[in-house]
Amino acid sequence: MLRAELILARGRIRTLGRTGLKPHSHLAIAGGKVLACGGREVMSLRGPKTRIVDLGGSAVFPGFNDAHAHVVYYGLTRFAADLTAARGIDDVLDRLKAHGATLKPGEWLQGMGYRTDELTERRQPHRTELDRATGDRPAFIDERGGHARVANSAALAAAGITTDTPNPPGGRIGRDLNGSPNGLLLESAMRLVADVQPPPPLARRIEGVLKAQELLVSRGITSVGAAVNRGFADDLRAYETLACDGRLRMRVNEFLSWELLEAASEVGLRSGFGGGMVRAGPIKVFVDGGAERVAMRGGGGVWRTTPEELRELVSRATAAGLQVAAHAIGDGAIEAMCDAVEAARGTHLRHRVEHCTICPPDLQQRMAGLGMVAVMQPMAARFGRVASTIFFPVRDRTHLAPHRGLLRAGVPVAFSSDLPVAVDPNPWPGIRVAVEDQVSGISLLAALRAYTSGGAFASFEEQAKGTLDPGMLADLQVYRGDPLDEGEDVDWEQLRPRAVLLGGARVFGTL
């Protein structure tokens, strides 16, 4: 008989699988997988070498799966000027100046993480303001959310952007009244400067992944859908290198930017290729823009990919066996993705709608019928409800972040942080928001599943992970006490696991 290597005893273990939220006291692990979960009888799997850990009533859950987090991007922000807490343009400039002093001559200055609605001026900085802090050094700063950037004069010059430069398709160059560029670049116009900026070397990306990993794993996240905005071969190389060196402590489903579709299909890559640690994920494409520029059925917004281009791309990806993850926030963009999946006959590939923020009932039904998955951010839903009158032109509030409607229609929902859009990837506050939402609330079990087996389903791995049923990977997190019993007294923002296991091996904390 197979003996357990490790038994977690006297805990409150919730598999989130067949037995849902019902607590079990004992869990046995062997060969990196769950051998058994149940009561005292599990102790019969004890052998001479079995380690027994007495949990003393502590809760255990499957590891979280953050289905959409910008791992490399977040990691790289750790090497840029941190503008996350900036509260005014002077504050932005001070931070840029201080960071610039640490750089080599000619090195590009980057800053990330501010939001205009958090600045007292409530506007983007002008290029000439950046120039005051940066001088001749090219500087390029990102607004949190990833849809707007500001370049200083040197960066605009490096990209050759002048008064005469036309707006690219799916993007806009901000201009002064006289037509001269003011530094602001929206949506695909960001690429004009990004393409001339020297890309960070592989070593920097690897360091960035390690920083992101430290944060993610400390929040109980054992699997991540690594979202991308552009196609850098070095992203996948960074994960592969870390996996080969045994330094990767989370499982990565690596998105591939739409620019890599051709290359991926030429080498015969299909979604799911890879091993238990690093897999080829979906082809990522942007359909519409960020919050203020979402594509609605009634018109307006930005189409970063037109419906015709999307249809072409989804057809080619489907024919190659590649799943597509489409950034679509507005109902117009979601509808275009449904049309594209239908035309491609791509129902078997679980094509994904990332964000899926404004999704009325008829589109919920279509997504269900087309076998599509909604990958959502519950924290953004809260933000959307508060700010919907400003950002989202929605008439019916039940169309906004419709977690309940989607689940009822039969659409699998996976939750995610969209790190670094959410500054902290801790899933618990989002789970609470999804449960307590007055308009579209879902059960605690459904919310926890969206953050565990939901992500596993989205990457075709629901047979391997996402629950603690026997035979599943022993990716799990152990808490101090039982947060679900303490209810009201728990500070969900601060809730952290005390230990995290990946395939039965400790990757964070102490057991």
Contacts with Zn ion by CB under 5 A lie at 227, 418
Q: Residue 330 Cβ, how far from Zn ion at the closest point, in Å?
A: 15
Question: Rounded to an integer, what distance in angstroms lies between the CA atom of residue 382 and that of residue 51?
Answer: 43
Question: Rounded to an integer, what distance in angstroms lies between the CA atom of residue 234 and that of residue 201?
Answer: 8
Q: Residue 455 Cβ, how far from Zn ion at the closest point, in Å?
A: 14
Q: Residue 467 Cβ, how far from Zn ion at the closest point, in Å?
A: 26
Q: Residue 413 Cβ, how far from Zn ion at the closest point, in Å?
A: 16
**If 0-12 CB within 10 Å is exposed, 13-18 middle and 19+ buried, where does residue 219 land?**
buried
Q: Are strands 26-30 and 6-9 parallel, antiparallel or unpaired?
A: antiparallel
Q: Residue 227 Cβ, how far from Zn ion at the closest point, in Å?
A: 5
Q: What is the DSSP string of 79-120?
A: TSEE-TT--SHHHHHHHHHHHHTTSPTTPPEEEEEE-GGGST
In the bound state with Zn ion, the residue whose beta carbon lies nearer, of 130 and 227, is: 227
Residue 461 corresponds to which tokens in the numbers above?
A: 């791995």
In the bound state with Zn ion, the residue whose beta carbon lies nearer, of 193 and 226, is: 226
Q: Are strands 59-62 and 476-478 parallel, antiparallel or unpaired?
A: antiparallel
Residue 223 corresponds to which tokens in the numbers above?
A: 């699997």
In the bound state with Zn ion, the residue whose beta carbon lies nearer, of 61 and 392, is: 392
Q: Chain-centre distance of CA 429, in angstroms?
A: 15
Residue 355 corresponds to which tokens in the numbers above?
A: 């964000």
Q: Residue 145 Cβ, how far from Zn ion at the closest point, in Å?
A: 9
Peptide bond preceding 360 in cis form (omega within 30 of 0): no
**How does DSSP classify residue 303?**
B
Let me know: does 42 contact 28? Beta carbons within 8 Å.
Answer: yes
In the bound state with Zn ion, the residue whose beta carbon lies nearer, of 227 and 256, is: 227
In the bound state with Zn ion, the residue whose beta carbon lies nearer, of 301 and 483, is: 301
Q: Residue 303 Cβ, how far from Zn ion at the closest point, in Å?
A: 18
In the bound state with Zn ion, the residue whose beta carbon lies nearer, of 335 and 418, is: 418
Output the CA torsion sign for 393, 394, 400, 402. negative
**How does DSSP classify residue 70?**
-
In the bound state with Zn ion, the residue whose beta carbon lies nearer, of 331 and 418, is: 418
In the bound state with Zn ion, the residue whose beta carbon lies nearer, of 418 and 482, is: 418
Q: How many secondary structure helices (H) and strands (E) does the chain include?
A: 17, 23
Q: Residue 87 Cβ, how far from Zn ion at the closest point, in Å?
A: 25
Residue 136 corresponds to which tokens in the numbers above?
A: 């001749």
Q: Residue 452 Cβ, how far from Zn ion at the closest point, in Å?
A: 20
**If 0-12 CB within 10 Å is exposed, 13-18 middle and 19+ buried, where does residue 298 land?**
exposed
Question: Rounded to an integer, what distance in angstroms lies between the CA atom of residue 271 and that of residue 123?
Answer: 41
Q: Residue 418 Cβ, how far from Zn ion at the closest point, in Å?
A: 5
- In sequence order, what are the beta bridge partners of 507? none
Residue 260 corresponds to which tokens in the numbers above?
A: 């890599």
Residue that the structure tokens 């037109």 belong to: 306
Question: Rounded to an integer, what distance in angstroms lies between the CA atom of residue 210 and that of residue 423?
Answer: 17
Q: Residue 353 Cβ, how far from Zn ion at the closest point, in Å?
A: 12
In the bound state with Zn ion, the residue whose beta carbon lies nearer, of 28 and 227, is: 227
Q: Residue 171 Cβ, how far from Zn ion at the closest point, in Å?
A: 17
**If 0-12 CB within 10 Å is exposed, 13-18 middle and 19+ buried, where does residue 407 land?**
buried
Question: Rounded to an integer, what distance in angstroms lies between the CA atom of residue 231 and that of residue 238?
Answer: 13
Q: Residue 43 Cβ, how far from Zn ion at the closest point, in Å?
A: 45
Residue 373 corresponds to which tokens in the numbers above?
A: 């998955």
In the bound state with Zn ion, the residue whose beta carbon lies nearer, of 127 and 304, is: 304
Among 379, 455, 458, 368, smallest CA distance to 421 is for 379
In the bound state with Zn ion, the residue whose beta carbon lies nearer, of 147 and 399, is: 147
Q: Dihedral angle at the C-alpha atoms of 271, 275, 279, 280, nearest 10 degrees? A: -40
What Rg value do the Cα atoms of the chain yield, rounded? 23
